[in-house]
A and B are shown apart, each in its own frame.
Chain A
Amino acid sequence: MSSRGSYVVFSGSQNFRLRLVLATLSGKAIKIEKIRSNELNPGLKDHEVSFLRLLESVTNGSAIEISYTGTTVIYRPGIIVGGSVTHNCPNGKPVGYFVEPMLYLAPFSKKKFSIIFRGCTASHDDAGLEAIKWGMMPVMEKFGVRECALHTLKRGSPPLGGGEVHLVVDSLIAQPLTMHELERPTISSIRGVAYSTRVSPSMVNRMIDAAKVVLKKVGCEVNITADVWRGENSGKSPGWGITLVAETKKGWCYFAEKIGDAGDVPEDIGNVVAYHLLEEISKSAAVSRDQLPLALVYMVIGKEDIGRLRITSNQIDEKLINLLRDIKSIFGTEVFLKPVDYDNTDDFIATIKGVGFTNTSKKIA
């Protein structure tokens, strides 16, 4: 009643999904203005509208108003309910674009999340299936979300897609655990998956071999699986890609992935991904750059205690600053960065006091 008409106002199209996700978690209404207002095709893109639809279907009572030109969105979040939903992703964006923000919401809903996404399963810019399965879900597990899985029913490479994945999050938790990670965890092994749809399996093996050559130098166990999809479950287009994950004993992991285009040489892709993995390892402390938003948001919505996470100075980039500013404008929480003084790295400890969020939508027994 009284809070009607008061929003947190953002402008610009950047961080679109995360802003909506944060608003949903906090329950605050937001208004996003000037979405591509200076471009030739102004306003929301297809996939963004699709994302809003998805958000509407996993929540109850949320109101979305899109202006006539599509450059302004007002979003009044409802209650996260989850349940069984099927979502058809537009071909422009892969399922990863939609699955990733769901990971922020799924553990805090009324019912268990069970969403089937249909569409492309890979792209150059967005999270692939393995990235989510082996890269993001371990982070969730560190925060207490144990039962979550992403089942690949069909793979669909771009441009035509035809894939199908099933996101199941079974553990509904009241709030994420308070994180204390002050060390750089040591990597125990490197794993990976190289997949292909509708192309010769030799591509996969060539990628694996190339990656292994690079990773041989680090002297730790490397294990890359070949995952070749044939027949009707392999979508409509040919495609191939590789995801490498560096695992630690403590449960953290770092990853890199890439997919091949027509005309690419598999050896190159394997090579590049392996180097990207090394670069990612060198740049990250406990979490890698693409896991950082998830980890930070989970820390922000934690208990009213201090949580700590070690990050490197390389991880402080524009993306992070945007994220932190958005978090501040929605939750009012600031992250306190303290330089690590007990070893000679230029790392920081990101200290965050949780906002005392609890999953209120869940019914009591």
Chain B
Amino acid sequence: MEQSNKEHRKRKEKNTAKKKLHTQGHNAKAFAVAAPGKMARNMMRSSDVNERKLHVPMVDRTPDDDPPPVIVAVVGPPGTGKTILIRSLVRRMTKTTLNDINGPITVVSGKRRRLTFIECPANDLNAMIDVAKIADLVLLMIDGNFGFEMETMEFLNIAQHHGMPRVLGVATHLDLFKSQSTLRASKKRLKHRFWTEVYQGAKLFYLSGVLNGRYPDREILNLSRFISVMKFRPLKWRNEHPYMMIDRMTDLTHPEILNAQGNKVDRKVALYGYLHGTPLSSSPGTRVHIAGVGDFSVAQVEKLPDPCPTPYFQQKLDEHEREKMKQEGEASTGTTTRRRKRLDDKDKLIYAPMSDVGGVLMDKDAVYIDVGKKNEGLSFVPGQEKGEGEKLVTGLQTADKNYAEIFDGVGLQLFSNGFALQGDEYQDDDEEEEEEEELDENKDQGRASLRLPRVHGKAIHDADEIIDDSPSDEEGNEDVDGQPRLEEIDFDDNINNKNEELAMGSDSEFELSGDDEDNWQRKAASKLNGKINHRRKWDIGKLIYMDNISPKDCIQRWKGEDASDEAAESDIEEEEAEDNFFQKRDQNNDKTHNYEGDLEKFVPYFETIEKLVQKFSNLDAIKDRFLGAPSLGDDQNDQKMNDDDEELYGDFEDLENKDAFAGGQEEGAESASNSDAESEDSFADFEKEQKKELTVDEERELNASKKEKLRLQFEMEEGENFKEGDPENEYDTWYELQKAKIAKQLDINNAEFESMTPEQRQAIEGYKAGSYVRVVFDKVPMEFVENFDPRVPVIIGGLLPTELKFGIISARVRRHRWHKKILKTNDPLVLSLGWRRFQTLPVYTTSDSRTRTRMLKYTPEHTFCGANFYGPLCSPNTPFCGVQIVANSDTGAGFRIAATGIVEEIDASAEIVKKLKLVGFPYKIFKNTAFIKDMFSSAMEVARFEGAQIKTVSGIRGEIKRALSKPEGHFRATFEDKILMSDIVILRSWYPVHVKRFYNPVTSLLLKNKTEWKGMRLTGQIRAAQNIETPSNPDSAYKKVERADRQFNGLKVPKAVTKDLPFKSQVHQMKPQRKKTYMAKRAVVLGGEEKKARTFIQNVLTISKDKEQRKKAKKQDQRKERLKRLAKAEEEKSQKDKEKKKEYFASHPKKRSAGDDDNGSSGKRRR
């Protein structure tokens, strides 16, 4: 059969719009907008897309060159494969297999990137909160076979309120699906659910089954690639605080103390880790918070060599070394660095001090070395070591000398170029004696008592402390005497002296410092040395901060005014001697040097007018400070200045000299006088002359200074104002301008820091992020050490000054919509705000149209409300979340995050009120006046409320006038209208509510069982425990209001009144009818048979009605009975069902039984 197709229709040649464009060789499109609507839409869309990309410009304070490792947290419910994932990733990146994962593991993942993996303990809410605060990337483990669990949702919600790190979902257990279609369907379902939680299009990885205790290599490779190229945005909180996750803990408490005082003493603890965030201040006593322990002052910080450096950093170090070698003149080795694309095996470092990497396990008090399995052959064979640990031990075995032998012939070398001193030569030296003794002791039996250690040249602030210790000016001279600032030898007796003096030193140390001899000696020595040392040039930067030198001395030393020095010193002595007598002192002081007198004085010190007149008789010195001043050719200073400029602007010699002179100030070009031109000529000659004289070195120097000046000028133009007001500047948008500014400032910071010496840099910048530091804390509770568990992350967060203060925080909070119950005012709530987790008693409030803050008893159901609570302050705009219970044993199945919010304001106090209605009743009513009773109990109370507004229930407003004398507490009030006796009078007042000052930090890390921290109990919990009924005021109960209908009497107008009313207002009353109606006229009288019949019928009807009624009542009773029966049956049935269900689920657990959670770590599921 033949196919019948439609006939082809040829396309009509239409005169289309496109054709029209090209008429007569004219391209219309080239000259006008063809489709303005479309174009507008396109533009709109593209600008929308661009706009969405923008974020508020924020300074990223992570250093570019050596950033800290990225913290990758693996989070998930128990049994989702967290440990296996870490193990697989570590194996992928470093080719090391970990048996046990304890604490953070740092690995090198790329040339410039390191990763720190941490496993968040499953089902530990405290740990989840801490991890959410520091993780840069979260690998969120989801059991694909089961779906999302409560922990996952809780973690996501916690993370969202602490700045939301990057989140990668990882779905595991996908091999358990039998059929492909269900797998696909559930993958899709998971993905979409994940997207609604994180963001649309968030990446979710799927990992299938486990092979050899690891996930498949290909899948892990993909995941690790994804991680290693991931970029991170700075988060606000972390960009403002230093923080650190510790990967090692050591108890430094001296064993002697433990022996003497038992193990219940506070410990000295060293915590190690990489610093993140902003630099940690190097000044002593910086306050930090250890999450789960409390606030502490840092006793000491020390930067350690990086245990896990990136290849890039190592390469830079090598280059630096090479540079040094070159400078020293040695022949370079000639090996140039090859550019490698891949990581070398030797670069694939791993650092996990608390795990068992390489057979070495560093515990808190010992180092364990894994010797492998028994049947693997001999261990500790030199040359055949199986791990780093064995190497260490075999190394020790081969040592042929003991330490005493090694150091036998070695003397003490004081200076690098001095000769070594042998111990016996200085046996009788006073100052060394003790130390020697100590040494001897060490040789013999070791030290038995505590020594106060003073470490040679360690951290900077320690050195400063040493200097600070010396209290009086006299001792300051010691430093002057050319001794190095870091004391290298322990002068123990000296130190003791100093300490004593410090202890005693109060009003005048001079008088109190007992040993005059010593002082005299020192003074004599300083005087002897004086002549040499006064010639020394002092660094003012250092002098300023040497607290033992008085400011006056500082200036003198710096300026090298040695002539007056001696005199001044004696002056001081005199003055201090005078201190002893009670004598008026300010007089002579003010007269002799009024300059130093009162530092409170605002007006600075000036020379006498005669000197000033003399000084400024010639204004040349400050001539260059004024705009439009004529340049003078004769002054040497000016010449030099011009000279420089001339060279600088060598190319523009034709320009007016003035411009150059004013240093690029355009305003200078007001008038160019003839003298300028002349001077220019003369300069040109002068310059030529000078050029010849310059040697190469000088020229180089000159060029360098020129360069510097140019750089600075560029900075001035670019760095300072960026031509902000100028619409022609190179930045298209405000955003770009801000970005440029931030970048410029960072450049300046880097440049300035690089120009400092390392010590100065550390003092000013602090310990910057990325450095591996050891932080020592004194007085850490012993429980922290005793109950230390490496699996639980320990986080140290730096605190800003505000966060050290306590006060009332007012915040905007909202009950989490997944939390089952609303929250009650003054019920304890554990808040995670800033670094801290603490329990507090919030008062929920609402604002009555901004006139007052009114207390709410409970949080509203679906909206924000205010909350005021006491606690450590935190800057406004900080988000937080709150939970009611953190202890796992008290947790039900519900969602634990109870509230989320944001800090609005901080203050020392808060004004919150609650409504108080006072009720009274009228007992006598005059026209607009009434006497009210029952509102107050005494006249005094009334007096307090005189003039207060009152109101009746019906809305008549009034005012309290005066207390009545007789019945105590009754008063007279006036109203705008006459009130009724049945009215209730109400006085609405506001009663202040105080926020309870309760702050209870969650010290979960001090517990043996970290998940069982219990604080103050909730009101409900206490009531349940003590079997107390919830108090209920019957007046507060909501019940149906039943109001009796009021019967009003008819209106009766008295005759006298009616008489006077106008006709229009007359009350119309009809006269009674006089004529009889038709019916009335014909009265029907029943009689005889009919009457009887009617009576009978009525009787019958009455009886039947009664019968019916009784029947009905009976039926109703029966019906009630039946309903009761039915309800009972129904209840029984449901009970039975429940039991059946319980029985079934007891024997067929759906996911895991509740008791499984506690042994969380071992919660690997058997399938």
Look across to chain A and name the residue whose beta carbon is closest to the beta carbon of B559. Answer: A313
Residues of A within 8 A of B586 (CB): 39
Say yes or no: B609 contacts A27, CB within 8 Å.
Answer: no
- B317 sits at the interface (CB 8 A): no
Q: Which residues of B contact A188 (CB under 8 A)?
A: 627, 667
A319 at interface (Cβ–Cβ under 8 A)?
A: yes
Chain B residues whose C-beta falls within 8 Å of the C-beta of A257 in the assembled complex: 603
Check if B763 is an interface residue, CB within 8 A of chain A.
yes
Interface check B482, CB cutoff 8 A: no
Closest to B286 in A: A332
Judged by a CB distance under 8 angstroms, whether A275 is at the interface is yes
0/1 interface trace, chain A 320-347, chain B, CB 8 Å (1 if under):
0110110010001111111001111000
- A363-B905 contact, Cβ under 8 Å, with A27-B804, A279-B606: yes
A206 CB to closest chain B CB (Å) equals 17
Report A-chain residues with C-beta under 8 Å of the C-beta of B755.
Answer: 338
Determine if A317 is an interface residue (Cβ-Cβ < 8 Å): yes
The answer to whether A39 and B584 touch across the interface, beta carbons within 8 angstroms, is yes
Q: How many angstroms between the C-alpha atoms of A40 and B586 in the bound complex?
A: 9
* Residues B603 and A126 in contact, CB atoms below 8 Å apart: yes
CB-CB nearest in chain B for A63: B908
Listed stretches A82-90, A155-163, A223-231, A350-358; interface member = A350-358
B725 sits at the interface (CB 8 A): no
- A1 and B999 in contact, given A38-B507, A342-B712 (Cβ under 8 angstroms): yes
On chain A, which size bracket covers the interface?
A: 35 or more
Q: What residues on B are CB-neighbors of A1 within 8 Å?
A: 806, 999
Binds B, one of A112-120, A146-154, A196-204, A302-310: A302-310
Within 8 A of A (CB), among B1107-1125: none
Contacts of B783 in A (CB 8 A): none
Q: Quick one: given A217-B619, A279-B616, A353-B765, are A360 and B802 in contact (CB under 8 Å)?
A: yes
Interface set, chain B 497-553, CB cutoff 8 A to A: 507, 540-541, 544-545, 547, 551-552
Interface 9-residue window, one of B404-412, B487-495, B592-600, B971-979: B592-600
Asked whether any CB of chain A lies closer than 8 Å to the CB of B862, the reply is no
Min distance, Cβ B531 to any Cβ of chain A, angstroms: 25
Q: Does A191 contact B (CB under 8 A)?
A: no
Report the Cα distance A3→B287, complex, angstroms. Answer: 10
> Is B875 touching A124 in the complex (CB atoms < 8 A)?
no
Measured between alpha carbons, how far is A318 from B630 in the docked complex, in Å?
Answer: 36
Residues of A within 8 A of B764 (CB): 333-334, 336, 351, 353
Residues from 601 to 632 in B contacting A, C-beta threshold 8 Å: 601-607, 609, 612-613, 615-616, 619, 621-623, 625-630
Residues of B326-367 whose CB lies within 8 A of A: none
**Which of A39, A79, A127, A342 is B705 in contact with, Cβ under 8 Å?**
A342
Contact A324/B544 with A126-B601, A364-B877 known, Cβ cut-off 8 Å: yes
Residues of A within 8 A of B904 (CB): 363-364
Distance in angstroms from A135 CB to nearest chain B CB is 10
A219, chain B: closest CB distance, angstroms: 5
Given contacts A60-B909, A182-B712, A342-B709, whether A324 and B626 have CB atoms under 8 Å apart is no
Task: Let me know if A178 is at the binding interface, CB within 8 A.
Answer: yes
Question: With an 8 A cutoff between CB atoms, is B930 at the interface?
Answer: no
On whether A38 and B579 interact (CB within 8 A), knowing A279-B607, A321-B544, the answer reads yes
Please give, as numbers and ranges, the residues of chain B lying within 8 Å of A57 by CB-CB distance. none
* A61 partner residues in chain B, CB cutoff 8 A: 807, 907-909
Q: Which residues from chain A contact B907 at a C-beta distance below 8 Å?
A: 60-61, 79, 81, 110, 361
Chain A residues within 8 Å of B554, by CB: 318, 321
Given known pairs A27-B804, A180-B720, the reply for A278 and B612 (CB within 8 Å) is yes
List residues of chain A with CB within 8 A of the CB of B547. Answer: 325
A143-186 interface code vs B (CB 8 A; 1 in, 0 out): 00000000000000000000000000000000000101011101
Asked whether, in the complex, the Cβ of A356 is within 8 Å of the Cβ of B240, the reply is: yes
Tell me the complex Cα distance, A49–B904, Å: 34
* Residues of chain B lying within 8 A (CB to CB) of residue A186: 625-627, 662-663, 665
Q: CB-CB < 8 A to A220: which residues of B? A: 626-629
- Inside 8 A of A2's CB, which chain B residues have their CB? 294-295
Task: Report how far A282 CA is from B767 CA in the complex, Å.
Answer: 39
Residue of B nearest to A344 (CB): B640
Say yes or no: is A212 at the interface (Cβ < 8 Å to chain B): no
Is A267 an interface residue, CB under 8 A from the partner?
A: no
Q: Are B603 and A125 in contact (CB-based, < 8 A)? A: yes
Q: What is the bound-complex CA distance between A175 and B607, given in angstroms?
A: 37
Contact assessment for A328 and B616 in the assembled complex, using a CB-CB cutoff below 8 Å = no
Contact A27 B667 (CB under 8 A): no
* Total A-B residue contacts, Cβ distance less than 8 Å: 244
Interface centre among B558, B604, B802, B873 (most CB of A within 10 A): B604
Q: Contacts of A279 on B, CB cut-off 8 Å? A: 606-607, 612, 615-616
B604 partner residues in chain A, CB cutoff 8 A: 280, 288-290, 319
Nearest residue (CB) in A for B871 is: A1
State in angstroms the CA–CA spacing of A28 and B544 once bound together: 23
Assembled-state Cα–Cα distance A251/B626 (Å):
14
* Contact call B800/A356, Cβ cutoff below 8 A: yes
Check: B281 CB closer than 8 A to any chain A CB.
yes
Contact, CB under 8 Å: B753 / A306: yes
Across the interface, do B544 and A318 meet the contact criterion of CB distance under 8 Å?
no
B394 within 8 A of A: no
Residue of B552, B599, B637, B802 contacting most chain A CB atoms (<10 Å): B599
* Stretch among B220-228, B380-388, B416-424, B744-752 lining the A interface: B744-752
Tell me, in angstroms, the Cα distance from A288 to B625 when the chains sit together. Answer: 13
Please name all residues of chain B whose beta carbon is closer than 8 Å to the beta carbon of A187 when the two chains form the complex: 625-627
Interface residues as binary, A261-291 with B (CB distance below 8 Å gives 1, 0 otherwise): 0000000000110011011111000001110
Task: Give the residues in chain B near A38, CB-CB below 8 Å.
Answer: 507, 579, 582, 585
Measured CB to CB, the nearest residue on chain A to B667 is A249
Q: A79–B908 contact, CB under 8 A?
A: yes
How far is A40 from B665 in the complex, measured between Cα atoms in Å? 57
Residues of A within 8 A of B599 (CB): 14-15, 318-319, 322
Find chain A residues with CB under 8 A from B622 CB. 218, 278, 281-282
A96 on the B face (CB < 8 A): yes
Contacts A2-B294, A290-B603, A363-B905 given; does A180 touch B598 at CB 8 Å? no
Establish whether residues B602 and A100, one from each chain, have CB atoms under 8 Å apart when the complex forms: yes
Which of A124, A358, A363 is the one whose CB lies under 8 Å from B603? A124
**A contact residues around B876 at 8 Å (CB):** 360, 362-364
In whole angstroms, what is the CA distance A276 to B627 when docked?
Answer: 19
Closest to B874 in A: A360
Assess whether B552 is in contact with A318, with CB atoms less than 8 Å apart: yes
Is B906 an interface residue when CB atoms closer than 8 A count as contact? Answer: yes
Q: A180-B720, A219-B628, A278-B616 are in contact. Are A60 and B908 (CB under 8 A)?
A: yes
Q: Which residues 891-918 in B have Cβ within 8 Å of A in the complex? A: 902-909
Given contacts A26-B801, A37-B507, A186-B625, contact A343 B752 (CB under 8 A): no
| A341 to B644 Cα, complex, angstroms | 13
**B716 CB–A CB distance under 8 Å:** yes
Residues of chain B having any CB pair with chain A under 8 Å: 59, 61, 240, 278-279, 281, 283, 286-287, 294-295, 507, 540-541, 544-545, 547, 551-552, 554-555, 558, 579, 582, 584-586, 596, 598-607, 609, 612-613, 615-616, 619, 621-623, 625-630, 637, 640-641, 644, 662-663, 665, 667, 705, 708-709, 712, 715-716, 719-720, 745-746, 748-749, 752-753, 755-756, 760, 763-765, 800-802, 804-807, 873, 875-877, 902-909, 999
CB-CB nearest 3 A-B residue pairs: A61-B908, A332-B283, A321-B551
Task: Using A218-B626, A344-B641 as known contacts, list a sample of 14 further A-B pairs with CB atoms less than 8 Å apart, ordered by residue number in A.
Answer: A79-B907, A124-B603, A180-B720, A183-B663, A186-B662, A187-B626, A220-B627, A249-B667, A278-B619, A282-B625, A337-B544, A342-B705, A361-B905, A362-B876
Give me 30 A-to-B residue pairs in the complex whose CB atoms sit less than 8 angstroms apart, sorted by A's number. Answer: A1-B999, A3-B805, A14-B599, A26-B801, A27-B801, A78-B807, A79-B907, A125-B601, A125-B603, A182-B715, A186-B662, A186-B663, A187-B625, A188-B667, A217-B619, A218-B622, A279-B606, A279-B607, A279-B615, A290-B603, A290-B604, A306-B748, A306-B749, A316-B558, A344-B637, A348-B540, A356-B278, A356-B800, A360-B875, A364-B877
